[in-house]
Structure 1
Amino acid sequence: MQDVRVDLSKQSTGQHITEESQSLTKNQNETYKNNIQNAVAQKKDLALQIDNSPPSYLDLLPFYLPFGIFCIMFYIDYYYQNPFIVVWLAYVAIPIADYTLPVDHKNIPENRIKAYERDWRFMVPVYLVWLIDVGIYFWILYSVSIGQIAQTPASFVIYVISYAQPGAINATIGHELIHRKEKIHKIFGTLSYSKMLYSHFLIQHIVSHHKKVSTPEDPSSARMNESLYEFYWRAIPAGYVEVWDIEQKRLAREGVSPFNPLRNRILLFNILHIAYLGLIFQIFGLHTVCFHLVYSLIITLMFEAVNYLEHYGLSRKKDANGNYESVNIKHSWNAPQMITNWILFKLQRHSDHHAYSYKPYQILDSFPESPMLPYGYSVSLVLSFFPYIWKKVHNPLAVATNNDTKITEEEKRELDKWIIGTLIGVSIVLTYITFIMIGFKST
């Protein structure tokens, strides 16, 4: 009996030692695991250690490209009387460059984002483009008023189309500025649209478009199979109506009449537009007013064409309760082409813009999994003016995106044929107009 108690005592002691050993081993394993996790975290923290060194001038230089293009345009027009060179650059030279140069999916490293975001130097090319466009615009109005240019129907068409191009880029600048938090930037951004008599865009875009994008409720989102011209007919008037409704509801909450021209911004904007046209008439005359109206119309059509291609055919799904899914990176068309991204201040990284609307252009990210246009916005703009070709190219892409699938290689080759064929035809026509019909006349 005593032997049994001794054995049980030994067994109990041995079991206790084993349990302590297991507990110690478990603690050691947990400690080791925690040490590994801490080491990984420390390594990650070290890798993501904030780097506040300023971006190099090579990072800034590409965004001066539009400023350089407009300087070249003005120089060639002033000395050789051919402003149409900017149209040739935009729709012949730049598409060729986009096609031949590698695409750009490079994003700013996470530990460098703050340095890029806070660097005021990225605003310099933005405001330089704003200033050169406004300066050239007033020079053009003066030149029209003294009879120096745009006096014959052909000259009128050439000059109004040519100088609408920098105006359209300034509209892109306006889009960048109205999304900044600082009021001064919003003012200059709104002035970009006021110059083209389209100030209400500020309200529609910020209040409505970013909430309703890629739904039937958004006037600025193009439907599947809707041509550009049908989009114009629907979206432009609907934009004015929508802003009127927004202002009416806002003023109703404040107990103010929607017909109060000092409180209803759409009324105020348009009164100021009329007053501005009256000022142009007093200073520059009726012919210049006509020039300005056509100039504004062309910029508006170009600007709305970009809206058309940015979301064409893409749709947000509804859940069982009829609520739309949240906006994600599949609801905007992107384009990674390098040159047009520089010229448009990365507007082509549109998915990230809709995800983070206050992000400045220099830190917008590219997502390869986002829907991608076959070529940059300049090429897509050309294609959009030919509805049959546009649908032939973009419908398969939109259907595949909405269904979370991809087009086949055979379909891709078919799309390339339509794109290349269209660009060759347009390039021949624009080259003939620029270098043969208009030519270069030394002053």
Structure 2
Amino acid sequence: MQTLEQYIKDKYNNVEDWFVQEVQQPYNFNRISKILGNREYLKGIHKILQRENSKWKGEVFNTTKLILQEAKTILNFHDTYLLGKKVSITGSDNIVATFNNIYRKGKYSKIDFNILRKVNRFGDIFEYVYIDNKTIKSKLINSEDSYPIFSEDTGEYIGFIEYYTMDSNKVSYYNVYFSDHVECYSNESGDLQLINEYSNLSGLPIHYHNFNDYDDNCGLSELEDIKPILDQLEDILSKMTDSVYTLSLNPIAVTLGGQRVDATIPSDAVGYMINLDVGEFKFVNATMDYSTIKLLLDTLHKKLETIAAIPSVALGNSNVANVSEVSLSMLYSLASVKAMINEQWLHEGFETRWEIIRKLLALQGIVFSEDEFIDCEFNYSRPINNEEQLNNIKTQFDMGGNIITNYN
């Protein structure tokens, strides 16, 4: 297998600033551009803002540019549905007690939630596990600062570069992660220089990414699937708003025959009357087809719910009352399917984290046998019908069955 040292030799002929050239590769440039584009979208910079203004009654008409931050609602729903309740550590008694203590001190429930949150929004996140004064902790490296390196022959993850530029002083920093050490560079003095180097006990940062049908080496933001529909909704609603103002609330006055009306009526005025000696005077306005517009908007919202894998009740589009446990499961079936898919890549990253933590514990003299294992269970934040659940428990109890409950 190609190592990082061999990769540097084969691709860059061992030049000293090889990592600068690596972060500038077209593959990395395109990936980071998408991440920054999604970050701007979440800030409210949407396609609808590019809509041009127009002329109306001789003056500039500022067209409506309605921004719907519905994407945040969808993403927040999936974040909290899977990890709104922290994961439950399972396994052998000794190792579970130790890891629960580590998770509590290292605030790993918050780290887990942020991992899912970042991956849903940007496709990738990297976690570096380290020891701080005998306490095991993790730091997350944002996707836009992360440049993983993959072997050119096997595609395996062999190196990592953390690159960022400070806005305050425009100084660039490069932290290059090898399997056994980390090299830190900076151009603060004007030239690129090695400013620090230290041993790497944890190995490479853990790469969390969701499933991507186009690229096995990186994830794909959930925004990529829902942005086209949200852009269409914003476009339609913005144009409908303008139509109401210009064609319904402020129609064009037309005289048929008779004298010409030279006076102007303020566009903000309501209730003016004009008397004509001869001819006909009327307002021309547009009649919008309500049924067609409603059908289009309803269809877009239903497609959004399907593609985003959220129940309509999560967006307030349905009223639900007195539903059974089976009905609730059916309502949240798409969300559960998506959560189970997210479990797969999360669990893979967790397994790597657990291996690193066991290695760091061994350095502190805490060693577990090979038979002792650790795992986790995810607790979905799905509404439950408490009355029906209690009735089912009572029925099982009356029949003499064993009752197993899990309260969170």
Tell me the TM-score normalised to structure 2 length: 0.22
More strand by share: 2
More helix by share: 1
Tell me the TM-score normalised to structure 1 length: 0.21
